[in-house]
Amino acid sequence: MSNFRKRSIDPWSPEKDSNELPNWVHEDYETPFHLMADLLINWPGSTPTSELPSETRHLRLVEVVAGYPEVSVGRRPLDFPFFKRSSDALQLSLFLDEIKCDRNSEWHSLRTYLLHWDLVEHSQPQQLSRKKQVQFLHYLIDTIRTGSYHHKKKYSPDKFESGEVKFLTALHSMQITRRDTFWPAIDEGNDI
């Protein structure tokens, strides 16, 4: 049965049609990448996310995936539930929960898999390596691209769309050394 599912299992509604890929629909953000970029760009503080150390950038990405980014100084989405960025962050988190993860378990969504993977990797005594940060990012991007639609459209297999470029720029900048290190090649496989 797990081979035929195209979206993650919804434990509250197991009869929900699982043969359709999740479809991102948001009035302000064309793709989930646009929203992730906006959350990273508008992170409170004087230093842009892309200018922070790689460990801090990775932590912010994990917090965005978890649905728990900082939306105002010292505030998270559940601190300000009616704040626009709070509801957007929670909507993104729910969307990532709909995307099926093909790794390890049919019960994992993309969101739960990435959070579990990050937890396990951080349980090791050494600092999370740059290679592991890159694997996390590439798996996130590839799984969203192949495991969902945006406004009933597929992602282009040949090139990044504007939201993906904005997201990668907000997270790692367009500096050539960072692009070479962190940005995925469009046709690469993922090995997380």
Domain membership flag for residue 192: no
Domain membership flag for residue 189: no
Find the range with the poorest average confidence among 9-23, 47-61, 88-102.
9-23
> What pLDDT score was predicted for residue 11?
59
Could you give the angle at which helices 54-66 and 32-41 cross, rounded to 10 degrees?
130
Residue 83 has pLDDT above 70, yes or no: yes
> What pLDDT score was predicted for residue 101?
85
> What pLDDT score was predicted for residue 122?
81
Domain membership flag for residue 12: no
Boundaries of domain holding 90: 25-182
**pTM > 0.85: yes or no:** yes
How many independent structural domains does the chain possess?
1
Residue 192 has pLDDT above 70, yes or no: no
> What pLDDT score was predicted for residue 20?
81
Check residues 153 and 12 and name the one with the higher pLDDT: 153
139: nearest Cα among 177, 181, 189, 187: 189
* Integer angstrom CA distances of residue 154 from 73, 178, 181, 182: 36, 27, 26, 24
Split at pLDDT 50, 70, 90, the class of 103 is: confident
> What pLDDT score was predicted for residue 2?
42
Per cent of the chain over pLDDT 70 is: 83
Domain membership flag for residue 19: no
> What pLDDT score was predicted for residue 19?
63
Mean pLDDT score of the chain = 87
Domain membership flag for residue 190: no
Domain membership flag for residue 122: yes
Domain membership flag for residue 145: yes
Domain membership flag for residue 7: no
